[in-house]
Structure 1
Amino acid sequence: MYRQELAPVAGSLLVSALLAAIPLVALFLLLGVLRMRAWIASLISLAIAAVIAIAAWGMPVGQTADAALLGAAFGFFPILWIVINAIWLYNMTVSTGHFDVLRRSFSRISGDQRMQAVIIAFCFGALMEALAGFGTPVAITSVMLIALGFKPIKAASVALVANTAPVAFGALAVPITTLSQVSGLTVQQLGSMVGRQTPLLSVVVPLVLVFMVDGRRGVRQGWLPALACGLVFGLTQWLTSNFVSVPLADIVASLVSALAVVLVLRLRPIERIDTEPTTTESTGTAESTVDGKMDVFRAYAPYLVIIVVFCVAQLPPILKVLNAAGGSFGWPGLEVANSAGKPLSLVQFKFNWLSAAGTLMLLSGILSIPLLAIKIGESVRAYGRTLRQLATAIVTVMAVLGLAYVMNASGQTTTLGTQMASAGAAFAVLSPVLGWLGVAVTGSDTSSNSLFGALQVAAAHKAGLNPLLMAAANSSGGVLGKMISPQNLAIAAAAVGLAGKEGDLFRKVFGWSLLLLAIMCLIVVLQSTPVLSWMIP
């Protein structure tokens, strides 16, 4: 069994942490500075992490390879399994023309592209995050924005930034339940605390989206509906997570905030402005095309099916049956213990193939075939087109997760986290950064919570900080790393036809990621002091 070391390089934790950071720095430099294709940058960074694991941490070559394979397998299932089936369903709506109907329906709510960004990328994206997560909202909302006249690069960047505040409660609060398992805190405690952090972020994000679409003019003219959306979303997310149900927080918040935007626009319409020149039908003739009631129903039907399927699957008796299929098993050849000699749970591969969100998304697609009136042969061809469309994204996601698992299994990630946790009281500032870093690497708030949740609690006890606050900060800070994760960048780029341009997307959203992270760090620091400590349940 391979046993991790915290400070394998010259017995120095700092030097070891600096060495462990090299694969991450290389990944971001290759993407953001050298503008390298994401799949190539990911493979190079994986190779660097593997060399460091073998040469500096002394991890056997075979186990290093096994860790990379486990990460790649996790990248495909459940993450890519969700995305592939979600994009397949979308592609079927495109091939049948029902997506055009959906687009026209959204454009009638507001023909203004700034409000479309808020309604689709933030509200509708939050609903998709609540049900499926793992990149699905970015893929679907970005192509919806393109259909409404957005340029691909702007559509993808808006979708990425919008996919922030809902992430902590995504996929029916899987990140929170995972954090509970590793931290020893209850789901309700963590959900309540996160529900007192991310709602504050929600107030800002719709305003940021309006600014991204139309600059200062957009904020000046569209601040009221954008602010109403953020306030209502945040308030509903707080109320639901604290007093109703943690898993339902995003579902309720997304629906209520969308309704709030529609009501504000009805009471105080804003002048329609197309911020992107376009030759598509979406900006010129959407209002002149009359769609029948059945066409509109069919356009919305796949998303109604998704909601029903995912909600029914969460009913305890049904969930028990679904979970009975599949199970967990130790990855062959990979036996790893932490520095204290305890075996690591990360070597377990969970293959719950029937209850997985990707399988439920596949079922939703199958059930949608008759509703869309699409032939079986065309639906199969649409699946083939989806696989070709996501080819480079598949390689990227599997390589990035391989990188994450090599760093996790070898001990590089733990060394980085332990070095940051040694900051004492200043750890209140670094706690959200640690979560941000975890999501930036793995692309998943769930994975980041699994990695650093226990570390956050241990560091909090050592520094005299509230363990609940620090654990929640890992998840709340992590959501802001989602937009710069190579996994999400690859999915967004593939969805909008910009495969190979992930570096351009990275530069578009990196500044926003840092700005919003700074806001979250400020929130957590104030909550660790008497100024906002009353917010801790």
Structure 2
Amino acid sequence: MAWSQIYTPVGGSLALSALVALIPILYFFWALAVKRMKGHIAGSTTLLVAVLVAMVVYGMPAGMAVMSAVQGAVYGVIPIGWIIIASVFLYKLTVKSGQFDIIRASVVSVTEDRRLQALLIAFSFGAFLEGAAGFGAPVAISAALLVGLGFHPIYAAGICLLANTAPVAFGAIGTPIIAVSGPTGIPAMDISQIVGRQLPLLSIFVPFYLVVLMCGFRRTLEVMPAILVSGISFACTQFITSNYMGPELPDILSALVSMVCLTLLLKVWQPASIFRFQAETAGMQTAPSDQAGRLGKGSRRTYTAKQVLYAWSPFLVLTALISLWGVPSIKKALIGKYEGANALLSAINPLGKALSFYPPVPGLNQLVIGANGKPIEALFKLELLVAAGTAILFAAVITKFIARISWKEWGKTFGETLRELRFAITTIAAVVGFAYVANASGMSTTLGMALAATGVLFPFFAPMLGWLGVFLTGSDTSSNLLFGNLQKVTATQLGMSPALAIAANSSGGVTGKMISPQSIAVACAAVGLAGKDAELFRFTFKHSILLLLIICVLTYLQTNVLSWMLP
């Protein structure tokens, strides 16, 4: 039997209904920030609270509520959890083979300063991975690299989450913007141009901000030349590419330009004093493993260019593969939907089709009636070959031969990775399940309608919808699809540019990425802090709010005094 969503279930009041819809979110904040529960416990109990609210308040049938949670949990494992498993596995292979000692030394040869290493890896290299793969890969890989260099795990995870703010809207070859263009009818180029006139301001601010968090304002001033070169080169490239080329390449090109410019600067300039963490200067070990914790040990030995290239080759292979996986024609072949004339892609197409499954969710598919009066499709989306985690696994297979690791050791390391990440994957499955329950029951729409009811202040609150959407779903793409049409309709009614409202949803969403439960779990898993989600959440929450307010103010001003900024 079909069931229709109701968006004002509490006495027909939107305000009261929104307060009730907030209960699972507020509970999750309380569980992590106040009670400091382990991530998998906080996530699982939040999912239970969401199911109860959906059933008791929204009247959603129990079977539908449970199956929407199952659908989300499956998506949490594939593709999100799969990315984390493969990323951490690849990193562990480089550590076990001893190649990471050389990687560490090569970074230290450019600069031993932790502030500059954070700019190179967390900001620039992380942005490149975001542009090529998206999802959890940028945070997982860059955070693991920083821990290997000697960063404290919490700082490594927190800095990478913060640095990941700037590139998210253009992640995975522009997917968030391209995806929202279809259902809203707003050209992707129009949205890209406006996002490209908002986020470059964050791209300049974020490198400065993350260094301040590491060492304070005074020590930050010591590396201002590097911060300015890193941020401005990234921001300028981001502006140019997003405004004149489209949403596909801003992250990749901006990251490459930023890395090259910063590396060239460091060839002719170095800060007057080298910054290391206090634990290092006291001779303490900051990394969680012996191999990862030998701070700078590799820096005492000189390696040849060939040795350095060889050590970095697993990540070069990774970069090449995830870049290929993001090419539209290849992506179509990997899911079995390629219709071109390329012989190689035509050969891959049958395998991609065989490894892509879309079974309907029992008891849920076409049974929930949405706001438009039409049934909502609910499918398990199991695209195994095209998943970014599969590309990373292929890189791990190639690394087995590069690093000359036996299949026995390779398999043993994979097993170790699965055991270490079991609670992190449980957390991800639970919180994505919560997001799906919120969407299927109508709770997300209730919250969106409440923010849309703010009238003339809507331009200020529009980015908050994106922030909320990314918190709930862990994805700027999903947030845009969730609230894109609502943004368009509300903006049109209020005389605001629909393209600006949708762009604000995407730009506001990037500030929610660092507190999304999925992102928190990914970061903790990557640095060996599974179960420490509460500690990392407390670290990132205030920074998320600050950056969100910047986007809110900017969007509001762009509707009046800064309207000249819009194309």
Unaligned runs of 5+ in 2: 286-292, 337-352
Deviates more, 1:133-142 or 1:459-468: 133-142
Greater CA drift, 54-63 or 371-380: 371-380
Counterpart-to-counterpart distance in 1, 2:329 and 2:428:
33
Contact 1:161 1:509 in 2 (8 A): yes
| Cα pair 1:428 1:524 within 8 Å, conserved | yes
Contact 2:91 2:144 survives alignment (8 Å): no
Aligned runs of 1:254-273 on 2, under 5 Å?
254-270=255-271, 271-273=273-275
Residue 250 of structure 2: aligned partner: 249
8 Å Cα contact 1:190-1:468 kept in structure 2:
yes
Q: How does 1:250-329 map to 2 (within 5 A)?
A: 250-270=251-271, 271-278=273-280, 279=284, 283-315=295-327, 317-324=329-336, 325=353, 326=356, 328-329=358-359
**Structure 1 Cα separation of the partners of residues 30 and 451 of structure 2:** 22
Question: Retained in 2: the 8 A contact 1:424–1:462?
Answer: no
Question: Which consecutive residues of structure 1, in runs of 5 or more, have no partner in the other structure?
Answer: none
Residue pair 1:527, 1:534 contacting (<8 A) in 2 also: yes
Cα drift, residue 245 of structure 1? 4.2
Q: Deviations over 1:384-435 (max 9, x none)?
A: 1111121111011100011111110000110110111011121111111111
Counterpart of 1:339? 371
State the distance in 2 between where 1:73 and 1:158 align.
Answer: 29
TM-score by length of 1: 0.96
**Would you say the 8 A contact 2:460–2:552 is kept in 1?**
yes
Matched ranges for 1:391-430 at <5 A:
391-430=422-461
Question: C-alpha distance in 1, partners of 2:315/2:438?
Answer: 38
Secondary structure in structure 2 of the residue aligned to 1:340: coil
Alignment RMSD, CA only? Answer: 1.7
* Equivalences for residues 100-179 of structure 1 within 5 A: 100-179=101-180
Equivalences for 1:52-91 in 2 at 5 Å?
A: 52-91=53-92
Whether the aligned pair in 2 keeps the contact of 1:150 and 1:276 (CA below 8 Å) is: no
Listed one character per residue, the Cα deviations across residues 297-338 of structure 1 (whole Å, up to 9, x for unaligned) are 222112221222233344555333222122544322102111
Q: Verify: 1:368 aligned to 2:395, yes or no.
A: no
**Contact 1:114/1:218 (CA < 8 Å) preserved in 2?**
no
Deviations, residues 195-251 of structure 1 (Å, cap 9, x unaligned): 211111100000011111111122221122112211111111111122224222111
The corresponding residue for 1:49 is: 50
Post-superposition CA distance 1:314-363 (Å, at most 9, x none): 45553332221225443221021113312224x23332222222222222
CA distance 1:284–1:356, shift in 2 (3 Å): closer
1-structure distance, mates of 2:102, 2:183:
45
Is the 8 Å Cα contact of residues 39 and 427 (structure 2) preserved in structure 1?
A: yes
Aligned residues: 535
Question: How far apart, in 2, do the equivalents of 1:462 and 1:344 lie?
Answer: 26
How many angstroms does 1:287 deviate by?
A: 2.9
CA distance, structure 2, for counterparts of residue 67 and residue 316 of structure 1: 29
CA distance in 2, matches of 1:457, 1:445: 16
Query: What is the CA distance between 1:496 and its match in structure 2?
Result: 1.8
TM-score by length of 2: 0.91
CA contact (8 A) 2:86 2:393 kept: yes
Q: What is the Cα deviation at residue 450 of structure 1? A: 1.7
Match of 2:415 among 378, 384, 405: 384
Percent of residue pairs bearing the same amino acid type:
44
Could you list the per-position Cα deviations for residues 79-135 of structure 1 after superposition, in whole angstroms to 9, with x for gaps in the alignment? 111221121111111110111211111111111111111111101111111122222
Judge which range, 494-503 or 112-121, deviates more.
Answer: 494-503
Match of 1:532 in 2: 562
Secondary structure at the residue paired with 2:197?
A: coil
> In the alignment, residue 331 of structure 1 is paired with which amino acid?
V
Q: Which amino acid counterpart does residue 59 of structure 2 have in structure 1? A: G
Q: Distance in 2 between matches of 1:45 and 1:501?
A: 17
AA at the equivalent of 1:470:
A
Cα pair distance change 1:411/1:316, threshold 3 Å: closer
